[in-house]
């Protein structure tokens, strides 16, 4: 059985990543926070008696399911909104705002030019990641960002190992293509990574 | 039309370049890791209000687990002070946690026991009366005859 300290350490380690992953998927910081909070609570409530080594996989599964629930609810809400708005006035006050506008630029103490280049690269990647189909993004995030192996990723996504590999490969191709379109080749990416370290 | 053709050629060229760049699985892995590193770095720098909310959510989850475990240990202590359910070991702790289910289970077991005892008792009576009839000097029909009792009393 995991202790509260183990749970706390685990959550500290993953909470920021979990938030960003969710934010890329749902494109709304507040919704992302709610989803992460829900996932944390479910982990403590339902799986608190499990050993801490099982937490990463359990948490990711809960997080993905909570996101799916959110999308389902969102779909129903959108349907009602569409139906109701057809009867009401159509004064769209910023409904279609670009979520990327809300992304803040980090304030590193590096050289301004390097900082700007890195910040732009990250923004491009974030934008490209948001554009990915949900399954590809999920596979990419779990496999490369969460550093899970193919089998674990497949288990969480509920698909075969082959599908995970296909999704990952397509995601990387799509991201690379998007970066290339924006004038960032793999060298530019490598430099950005190198600069960060 | 020409412009469209040019665009198509450009797109094709771009794809070719990208495909060649990441046709190698090692390179694909490297690009993916590079992107993940950048995203990881980005995730470490959140706005203070977001950090605060995440921290509050984490504390709520951890407190919930602590409370759950405190309740669990209290239940164990109750079971530890001569409670019958402790004889069942870990199953006994489950009884403590699911009181309604355990009460229902106990009632069902008691009812089953009651019916089993009843059944056993009636079977036992039948066996006794059969044994009496077989061991008796009179034939069984004599006991079914109503006039036989009157004849015994008159004599």
Q: What percent of chain B has pLDDT over 70?
A: 70
Mean pLDDT value across residues A57-73: 91
**Residues of A whose CB is below 8 A from B45:** 106
Mean pLDDT value across residues B118-143: 80
The complex's ipTM? 0.70
- pLDDT tens by residue, A18-49: 999 899 888 888 999 999 999 999 999 999 88
Please tell me the distance from the alpha carbon of residue B78 to that of residue B97, in angstroms, as a whole number.
11
Task: Mean pLDDT check: name the lowest of A11-15, A192-196, B34-38.
Answer: A192-196
Sign of CA dihedral A54, A158, A161, A74: negative
Please tell me the distance from the alpha carbon of residue B103 to that of residue B97, in angstroms, as a whole number.
11
Q: What pTM, to 2 d.p., does this model score?
A: 0.59
Q: Are A30 and B49 in contact (CB under 8 A)?
A: no
Of the candidates A17, A29, A172, the beta carbon closest to that of B40 is on: A17
Chains A and B form CB pairs within 8 A to the count of 135
In the prediction, which pLDDT does B108 show?
A: 94
Please tell me the distance from the alpha carbon of residue A77 to that of residue A93, in angstroms, as a whole number.
18
Q: Where in chain A is the domain with CATH 1.10.1740?
A: 4-84
Q: Can you say how many angstroms the Cα of residue B76 is from the centroid of all Cα atoms in its chain?
A: 19
Q: A129 pLDDT exceeds 80?
A: yes
Which residue of chain A comes nearest to B23, CA vs CA? A173
Does the beta-carbon distance from B42 to A175 stay under 8 Å?
no
Answer CATH for A107-196 from 1.20.120.80, 1.10.10.10, 1.10.3720.10, 3.30.1360.10: 1.10.10.10
**Residues of A whose CB is below 8 A from B23:** none
In the prediction, which pLDDT does A108 show?
A: 47
Please tell me the distance from the alpha carbon of residue B23 to that of residue B122, in angstroms, as a whole number.
85
Q: Are A126 and A24 in contact (CB under 8 A)?
A: yes
**Residues of B whose CB is below 8 A from A16:** 43-44, 46, 51, 54
A61 against A81, higher pLDDT: A61
Give the minimum alpha-carbon distance from B86 to chain A in angstroms, rounded to a whole number: 20
Please tell me the distance from the alpha carbon of residue A24 to that of residue A134, in angstroms, as a whole number.
10
Count each helix (H run) and each strand (E run) in chain B, helices first. Answer: 7, 0
A100 against A156, higher pLDDT: A156
B24 falls in which pLDDT band (50, 70, 90)?
confident
The token duo for A107 is: 């304030």
Which residue of chain B comes nearest to A37, CA vs CA? B57
B13 falls in which pLDDT band (50, 70, 90)?
very low
In the prediction, which pLDDT does B54 show?
A: 93
Please tell me the distance from the alpha carbon of residue A14 to that of residue A141, in angstroms, as a whole number.
13
- Which of A49-58, B9-18, B65-74 reaches the highest mean pLDDT? A49-58
- pLDDT tens by residue, B53-94: 999 999 999 999 999 888 877 776 665 554 555 555 555 555
CB within 8 Å of A60: residues ≥ 6 apart? A142, A146, A148, A156
**Residues of B whose CB is below 8 A from A46:** none
Which residue of chain A comes nearest to B12, CA vs CA? A177
Of the candidates A4, A172, A180, the beta carbon closest to that of B32 is on: A172
Please tell me the distance from the alpha carbon of residue A40 to that of residue A154, in angstroms, as a whole number.
22
Q: Where in chain A is the domain with CATH 1.10.10.10?
A: 107-196
The fold of A4-84 is: Rna Polymerase Sigma Factor; Chain: A (1.10.1740)
The token duo for A81 is: 């909104």
Does the beta-carbon distance from B57 to A37 stay under 8 Å?
yes
């Amino acid at each position: 059985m995991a202790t509260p300290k183990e749970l706390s350490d685990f959550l500290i380690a993953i909470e920021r990543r979990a938030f960003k992953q969710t934010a890329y998927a749902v494109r709304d910081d507040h919704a992302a926070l709610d989803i992460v909070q829900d996932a944390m609570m479910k982990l403590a409530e339902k799986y608190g008696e499990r050993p801490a080594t099982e937490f990463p996989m359990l948490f990711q599964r809960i997080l993905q399911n909570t996101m799916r629930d959110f999308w389902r609810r969102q779909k129903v809400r959108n349907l009602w909104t569409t139906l109701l708005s057809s009867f009401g006035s159509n004064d769209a006050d910023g409904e279609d705002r670009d979520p990327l506008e809300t992304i803040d630029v980090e304030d590193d103490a590096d050289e301004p030019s390097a900082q700007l280049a890195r910040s732009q690269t990250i923004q491009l990647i974030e934008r490209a990641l948001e554009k990915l189909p949900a399954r590809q993004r999920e596979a990419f995030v779990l496999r490369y960002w969460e550093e899970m192996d193919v089998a674990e990723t497949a288990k969480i996504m509920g698909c075969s190992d082959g599908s995970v590999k296909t999704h990952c490969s397509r995601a990387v191709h799509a991201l690379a293509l998007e970066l290339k379109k924006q004038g960032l080749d793999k060298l530019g990416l490598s430099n950005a990574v190198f600069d960060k370290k | 039309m020409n412009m469209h053709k040019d665009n198509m050629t450009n797109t094709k060229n771009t794809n070719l370049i990208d495909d060649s760049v990441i046709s190698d699985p090692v390179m694909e892995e490297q690009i993916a890791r590079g992107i993940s590193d950048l995203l990881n770095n980005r995730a470490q720098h959140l706005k203070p209000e977001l950090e605060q909310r995440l921290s509050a959510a984490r504390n709520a989850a951890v407190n919930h687990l602590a409370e759950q475990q405190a309740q669990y240990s209290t239940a164990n202590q109750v079971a530890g002070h001569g409670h019958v359910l402790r004889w069942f070991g870990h199953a006994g702790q489950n009884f403590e946690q699911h009181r309604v289910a355990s009460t229902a289970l106990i009632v069902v077991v008691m009812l089953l026991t009651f019916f089993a005892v009843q059944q056993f008792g009636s079977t036992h009576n039948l066996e006794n009366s059969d044994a009496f009839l077989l061991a008796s000097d009179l034939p069984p029909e004599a006991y079914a005859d109503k006039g036989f009792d009157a004849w015994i009393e008159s004599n």
